[in-house]
Amino acid sequence: MQPIYKRVLLKLSGESLMGDLEFGIDPNTLQDFAKEIASVCHLGVQIGIVIGGGNIFRGIQAAAHGIHKVSGDQMGMLATVINCIAFQNALEAVGIPTRLQSAIKMEQIAETVIRRRAIRHLEKNRVVLFGAGTGNPYFTTDTAAVLRAIEVEAEIVIKGTRVDGVYDSDPEKNPDAVRFDKITYREVLEKNLRVMDHTAITLCQENNLPIKVINFNEKGNFKRLIMGEEIGSLVC
């Protein structure tokens, strides 16, 4: 069997890196995620990654009331770069070549986001980590993930979460929550489902870019999806 996708964009939340910690990065979780991604890289699939920063910024936020929204968003962007550096090291420790690109210039740490260069890295089977969101306040890392996916011509956005798809309510709080195998962009917006923010969903809709939501904490799920198994929920 061959992978059903050639190029994908993986979106992970910063909170997913915490493991059982209250905030920060759990080394074991980071290592497990790196191995999951490596297993797909070895199939020849090209992977871009966008990671949120909530595991770091929300730790700060509790003691940071009164910070201006723009400053807070800028802190969040820097938090995503910290996560990307950690993930880059974890991937390279398992033998996966990487490049880190940042939407905010920081030459000593990362390349500036350049679309053609990112595509070239992907073509050379390097995992490209995109840090610092869009580089602008008021835009989430969900929107950044969709934007990068469109720019590098990814076939799908894969959102890795703690649950196995899209539900009509939070399955961690409501045991009667109903899961959707497939749902449209319009339905996500009308039902106000928390798949991604409205800007990200609208961007996907306008560019006909599908989203697959899977439980990334379940080992092997990423590879199973890439190989064509029907897991998670599809937004299209």
Q: What is the pLDDT of residue 194?
A: 86
Q: What is the pLDDT of residue 62?
A: 58
43 Cα distance to chain centroid: 20
Average pLDDT over residues 136-154: 97
Q: Taking Cα atoms as reference points, which of 18, 5, 80 lies closest to residue 49? A: 80
Residue 154 in any domain: the answer is: yes
Residue 14 in any domain: the answer is: yes
User: For the chain, what is the domain count?
Assistant: 1
Here the CATH number for the domain that contains residue 143 is: 3.40.1160.10
Q: What is the pLDDT of residue 59?
A: 65
d(CA 199, CA 233): 19
**Residue owning tokens 């700060």:** 60
Q: What is the pLDDT of residue 102?
A: 98
d(CA 235, CA 90): 30
| 191 or 170, higher pLDDT | 191
Residue 143 in any domain: the answer is: yes
Q: What is the pLDDT of residue 150?
A: 98
pTM for the whole structure: 0.95
Residue 2 in any domain: the answer is: no
Residue 184 in any domain: the answer is: yes
Average pLDDT over residues 131-138: 96
* Residue 225 domain boundaries: 7-235
The helix or strand, by DSSP H or E, that contains position 180, with its residue range, turns out to be strand 179-180
Lowest-confidence segment of 44-53, 82-91, 143-152, 170-179 by average pLDDT: 170-179
- For 55-111, the pLDDT digits (tens) are 998 766 655 678 888 988 999 999 999 999 999 999 999 999 999 999 999 999 999
Average pLDDT over residues 2-8: 97
Residue 190 in any domain: the answer is: yes
Contact 147, 133 (CB under 8 A): no
Average pLDDT over residues 147-151: 98
Residue 1 in any domain: the answer is: no
Locate 220 and state its tokens: 């092997």
Contact 211, 159 (CB under 8 A): yes
pLDDT band, residue 44 (cuts 50/70/90): very high
Residue 20 in any domain: the answer is: yes
